[in-house]
Amino acid sequence: MTPEPHFPTGTDDLAPAPPPGCPAHGTGPGGLHRLHETPDLRALYRRLREEYGPVAPVLLHDDVPIWVVLGHAENLHMVRTPSQFTRDSRTWTPLRDGTVKPDHPLMPHFAWQPVCSYAEGEEHKRLRGAVTGAVATVDPRGLRRHIGRATQRLVNRFCESGRAELVDQFAEHLPMAVMCQVLGMPEEYNDRIVQAARDMLKGTETAIASNEYVMGCLRRLTARRRARPEDDFTSHLINHPAGLSDDEVSQHLRVVLIAAYEATANLLANTIRRVLTDPGFRAQLNGGQMTVPQAVEQSLWDEPPFSTILGYFAKQETELGGRRIRRGDGLLLGIAPANVDPRVRPDPTADMQGNRSHLAFSGGPHECPGQDIGRAIADVGVEALLTRLPDLRLDCAEEELRWTQSLASQHLVELPVRFSPQPTQDVTAKPSHTPHPIPRARPAWEIGTVSAPPRPAPPPPEPPATPSAVPAGGTGRPQGAWQRFLRWWRGY
């Protein structure tokens, strides 16, 4: 069965007209709301919940009908029931019958690709198995060490000036620096690849060229590691028993790089902004009532980096949240509305410490396999930034902050900050409020903790160093085995 041209099925009797002058304007045929014309999606989701309950019919560009799932339980049910709902967009009726044209603005989200995000069943298991297998080889301690070092390098670039713009100079760089390292191409991390990733996601005219640039890096990496494997994510992806082809490997590297870059950049920017603009939040952090990981988790509840996922598709006629869903109907996974569902969160301002049941990473068979990496980047990055720049403050009025909003996510455009200028620090040292003393040179065999007289740290190495980065002090001097062990153990 095919839904009526303009409505997901079962909604024709549920088409209220908006009140005249309604601020959540943008209504199309049948009085259904056009999501893309809505200036405030949160307000619209609230209103839809009141009007329709946990599953509401809405319109996308070109008045393409789709359901938006607002309820926490309904979203969970959808992602956990692969017998009824799939991520394979080729089953979506408006795509099959041509209602969704090839130039539809959301096509990049809907166009099926041979990667795990769109696969299901055995094929999904095969592709995802290779990704989760490679993720499992990432050593958490080594990862935290890379994140700590990458943070130190980024902060070193602006710490002496007393001001920075943290979206551009920090939040968008840190995930890319870390992921280039994890994938095994630290030499590709630079401003160009960050700019290319940003450009691809914005869908500007140069998006195709930027995509080609990123894919070029990933294809070359795949060829290098196929010829000579190393102990990195890419080599493990290639050597997984699932036997991915070169094309599958580079396409999955792209999924991983872009998912990690975009979502983690949002998470970092959102968490830091909250610390800077919410005195209660900062007081809890400073007073020790909240740890940085708890602050990050709260941000995942309040401002999930992906607000919706486009989309899931009904494989058969079914029911969800009291609505009759017809085979081939599309549904948006409503992460942001699910996280404020009054049935799980009667007081949306309550803190959710200790509760990780938000849907920021989705659930079911497609649940984000990189969530520990995303969390680690945010935890270590925010902690190290606040340690290095303890008096960090916003350098504009809070009302001046701007976001770009799309259906899938909301990005902070800029986060200007000020702080007392700080000297650069040794990138291999633990982040500190004060300049780090450089360890005294000592013979390789010496084991001990004899303190060295403090000396100013040298400028950071440029370009960013690789895993074989010079040891503390940037001098290449040998360190005590105990010190090296402690560094490895602590992760920085």
**The two structure tokens encoding residue 137:** 């080889």
Q: How far is 418 from 241, CA to CA, in rounded Å?
A: 50
Closer of 33 and 411 to ligand HEM (Cβ): 411
Nearer to ligand HEM, 32 or 263 (CB): 263
Residue 219, phi then psi, degrees to nearest 5: -65, -40
CB count in 10 Å sphere of residue 92: 24
- d(C-alpha 325, C-alpha 320), whole Å: 7
Regarding 258 and contact with ligand HEM (CB under 6 A), the answer is no
Alpha-carbon radius of gyration of the chain: 24
Looking at beta carbons only, is 321 or 369 nearer to ligand HEM?
A: 369
Using the rule CB under 6 A, give the single segment among 15-23, 277-285, 355-363, 397-405 that binds ligand HEM.
355-363
Q: Based on the shown chain and the rule CB under 6 A, indicate whether residue 264 belongs to the binding site for ligand HEM.
A: yes
Asked if 69 touches ligand HEM (CB under 6 A), the answer is: no
Residues 167-206 interacting with ligand HEM (rule: CB under 6 A) = none
- Show the site string, 220-239: x = touches ligand HEM by CB under 6 A, - = not: --------------------
Question: Which residue of this chain has its Cβ atom nearest to ligand HEM in the complex?
Answer: 370
Size, binding site for ligand HEM by CB under 6 A: 28
Instruction: Specify the residue for token string 């095994």.
Output: 184
By the 8 A CB rule, do 176 and 193 touch? yes
The CA distance from 63 to 105, in Å, is 12
Q: Which of 51, 367 has the CB closer to ligand HEM? A: 367
Q: Does 111 bind ligand HEM (CB under 6 A)?
A: no
- HSE-CB for 166 with a 13 A CA cutoff: 33
Which pair of tokens denotes residue 282?
A: 């900062």
Distance in Å, CB of 185 to ligand HEM, minimum = 14
Binds ligand HEM (CB under 6 A): choice among 360, 380, 394, 407: 360
Residue 189: CB atoms within 10 Å:
22
Site string for ligand HEM, 380-399 (x = CB under 6 A): --------------------
* Residue selected from 32, 155, 259, 285 as contacting ligand HEM according to rule CB under 6 A: 259
The Cα–Cα gap between 435 and 110 comes to: 50
Among 196, 217, 290, 309, binds ligand HEM (CB under 6 A): 309
Q: What is the DSSP letter of 169?
A: I
Q: Please tell me whether residue 131 binds ligand HEM under the rule CB under 6 A.
A: yes
Angle ∠(251,151,224) on CA atoms, nearest 5: 35
Q: Are 254 and 260 in contact (CB under 8 A)?
A: no
Give the H or E element holding residue 312: strand 308-314
362 touches ligand HEM (CB under 6 A): yes
Q: Using an 8 Å Cβ cutoff, are 80 and 364 in contact?
A: yes
Token digits of residue 82:
């692969």
263 binds ligand HEM (CB under 6 A): yes
Residue 210 contacts ligand HEM per CB under 6 A: no
236-255: which residues touch ligand HEM (CB under 6 A)? Answer: 255
Q: Which of residues 324-343 bind ligand HEM (CB under 6 A)?
A: 333
Q: Which is nearer to ligand HEM, 255 or 486 (CB)?
A: 255
> Distance between CA 454 and CA 478 in Å, rounded?
18
| Position among 94, 311, 374, 474 found at the interface with ligand HEM (CB under 6 A) | 374
Of the candidate residues 6, 49, 104, 128, the single one contacting ligand HEM (CB under 6 A): 128
Closest contact distance (angstroms) between CB of 80 and ligand HEM is 10
96 touches 133 (CB < 8 A):
no
**135 near ligand HEM, judged by CB under 6 A:** yes
Q: Does 298 bind ligand HEM (CB under 6 A)?
A: no
Chosen residue from 32, 68, 69, 267 binding ligand HEM by CB under 6 A: 267
CA distances from 94 to 61, 101, 205, 219, 422 (A): 12, 9, 26, 34, 56
- Should residue 219 be labelled a site residue for ligand HEM when binding is judged by CB under 6 A? no
| The binder of ligand HEM chosen from 198, 366, 436, 487 (CB under 6 A) | 366
DSSP collapsed to 3 states, 323-391: EEECCCCEEEEEHHHHHCCCCCCCCCCCCCCCCCCCCCCCCHHHCCCCHHHHHHHHHHHHHHHHHHCCC
Nearer to ligand HEM, 243 or 458 (CB): 243
Find the binder of ligand HEM among 256, 332, 380, 384 (CB under 6 A).
256
Across the chain, which distance is largest between two alpha carbons, in Å?
Answer: 81
Site string for ligand HEM, 426-445 (x = CB under 6 A): --------------------
- Integer angstrom CA distances of residue 89 from 95, 172, 253, 406: 8, 30, 21, 20
Residue 44 binding ligand HEM, by CB under 6 A: no
Among residues 79, 143, 193, 196, which is the contact residue for ligand HEM, using CB under 6 A? 79
The smaller minimum CB distance to ligand HEM, of residues 6 and 252, is found at: 252
Residues found near ligand HEM in the complex (CB under 6 A):
79, 87, 116-117, 128, 131, 135, 255-256, 259-260, 263-264, 267, 305-306, 309, 333, 360-362, 366, 368-371, 373-374
